[in-house]
């Protein structure tokens, strides 16, 4: 029973860190990276689909993405979706290729993105702590129902706390890496 609670808490904490990774990938750095466009959805035959399901997204050089739609009719639709996105990108089309230059980040923009990254990291830390609280509440419930002893409960709470510390350190490490990327010129 205790192991199930710990495994569940660990799995949920891991999902929180993965969620943080995907949230931080949406924050644009000065470098071109295909995952920047992952949040963009394109109208494809009446349905909204991610851009990577209608086009190849490649890095052309350090500051330019190349988007090549699989169907020629999709070129204007994909270009319009990139322009409408809240990423502040301005694509240019030549034939069936769409080039998306990454504008250089100003100091003010960098600081705004860092603030956004820190906010995402704090949300992840709060989520990890909430998972710890849930796990500890389950343990207290087991103790109350006399399914485990007090010693087992204390030991389990200690291991849940160690898990929490491990994942919060991982969140901090992910944030530090993103901040370093953002401050790189």
* pLDDT above 90: residue 61: no
* pLDDT above 90: residue 167: yes
**Is domain 34-101 given the CATH code 3.30.1360.40 in the classification?**
yes
Task: Dump the DSSP string for 125-178.
Answer: HHHHHHHHHHHHHHHHHHHHTTSS-HHHHHHHHHHHHHHHHHHHHHHHHHHHHH
If DSSP codes are grouped into helix, strand and coil, which group holds residue 47? strand
The answer to whether domain 2-26+106-183 and domain 34-101 are alike in fold is no
- Looking at residue 120, its pLDDT comes to 92
Q: What is the dihedral of CA 144, 146, 151, 155, to 10 degrees?
A: -70
Superfamily of domain 2-26+106-183 in CATH is Ribosome-recycling factor (1.10.132.20)
Residue range 30-53: mean pLDDT, rounded: 82
* pTM of the complete model: 0.72
Domain ranges of the chain: 2-26+106-183, 34-101
Condensed to tens digits (0 to 9), the pLDDT of residues 115-137 reads: 989 999 999 999 999 999 999 99
């Amino acid at each position: 029973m205790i192991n199930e609670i710990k495994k569940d808490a660990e799995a949920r904490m891991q999902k929180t860190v993965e969620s943080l990774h995907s949230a931080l990938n949406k924050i644009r750095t000065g470098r071109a990276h295909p995952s920047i466009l992952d949040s963009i959805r394109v109208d494809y035959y009446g349905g909204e689909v991610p851009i990577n399901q209608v086009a190849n997204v490649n890095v052309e050089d350090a500051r330019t993405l190349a988007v090549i739609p699989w169907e020629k009719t999709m070129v204007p639709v994909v270009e319009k979706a990139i322009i409408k996105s809240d990423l502040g990108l301005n694509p240019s089309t030549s034939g069936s290729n769409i080039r998306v230059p990454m504008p250089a980040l100003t100091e003010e923009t960098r600081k705004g993105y860092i603030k956004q990254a820190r906010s995402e990291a704090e949300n992840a830390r709060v989520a990890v702590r909430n998972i710890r609280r849930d796990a500890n509440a389950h343990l207290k419930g087991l103790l109350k129902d006399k399914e485990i002893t007090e010693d087992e409960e204390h030991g389990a709470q200690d291991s849940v706390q160690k898990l929490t510390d491990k994942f919060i350190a991982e969140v901090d490490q992910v944030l530090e890496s993103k901040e370093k990327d953002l401050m790189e010129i």
